[in-house]
């Protein structure tokens, strides 16, 4: 499958898998941005895509930026619906203790495209039983 991609900034690389078998492709920063501790910013990537019906794009943080600098994404994963045709943006946040510069062309996030289903909902008077029941956060122990 090939996803149509529009380069809005021809100087930036086309997203590609870094290694065979990788799930995600790297997204690069279109602009240089300085993120102060606790600050969040919307960073354009210089590309727009046409994700096919039945698929969704999920924008996730890069583990190296998270480990080295505390950079993550506010709405992780960010959802790119099949009908969206605008420029992809990344909402980055600095959870670290020092300012971090994200340079133009630097890999700042990754895009994973996955198939999904769109089930409808049916209102019921009660839900069927399960072994977990209503057990939520921490219910499975440490």
CATH code of 76's domain: 2.70.40.10
Query: 61 lies in a domain?
Result: yes
Q: What's the confidence (pLDDT) of residue 54?
A: 96
Residue with tokens 């959802």: 79
What is residue 35's predicted lDDT score, i.e. its pLDDT? 97
Main-chain phi, psi angles of 63, to 5 degrees: -65, -35
pTM of the model: 0.87
Q: What is the DSSP string of 37-77?
A: TT-EEEEEEEEEE-PPTTEEEEEEE-HHHHHHH-EEETTSS
65 lies in some domain: yes
Residue 129 lies in a domain: no
Q: What per-residue confidence (pLDDT) applies to 58? A: 98
46 within a domain of the structure (yes/no): yes
Write down the residue that tokens 């630097």 correspond to. 106
Tell me what pLDDT residue 90 has: 97
Q: Residue 134: its pLDDT value, please? A: 81
> Which residues span the domain enclosing 42?
5-115
Residue 127 lies in a domain: no
The residue ranges of the chain whose pLDDT is under 50 are none
pLDDT for residue 91 = 97
- What is the number of domains present in the chain? 1
Please state, in angstroms and rounded to a whole number, the distance separating the CA atoms of residues 16 and 31.
19
140 occurs within a structural domain: no
* pLDDT at residue number 138: 73
Best CA proximity match to 96, nearest among 76, 77, 72: 72
Looking at the domain assignment, is residue 12 inside a domain? yes
Query: Does any domain span residue 48?
Result: yes
Nearest to 3 by CA among 80, 75, 78, 76: 80
């Amino acid at each position: 499958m090939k996803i149509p991609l529009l380069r809005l900034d021809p100087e930036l690389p086309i997203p590609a898998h870094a290694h065979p078998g990788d799930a995600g492709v790297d997204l690069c920063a279109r602009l240089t941005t300085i993120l102060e501790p606790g600050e969040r910013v919307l960073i354009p990537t210089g590309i727009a895509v046409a994700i096919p019906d039945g698929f969704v794009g999920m924008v996730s943080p890069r583990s190296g930026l998270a480990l080295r600098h505390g950079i993550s994404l506010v709405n992780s994963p960010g959802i790119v619906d099949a009908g969206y045709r605008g420029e992809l943006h990344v909402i980055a946040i600095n959870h670290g203790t020092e300012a971090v510069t994200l340079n133009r062309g630097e890999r700042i996030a990754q895009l994973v495209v996955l198939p999904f289903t769109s089930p409808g909902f049916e209102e019921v008077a009660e839900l069927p039983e399960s072994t977990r029941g209503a057990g939520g956060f921490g219910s499975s122990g440490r």
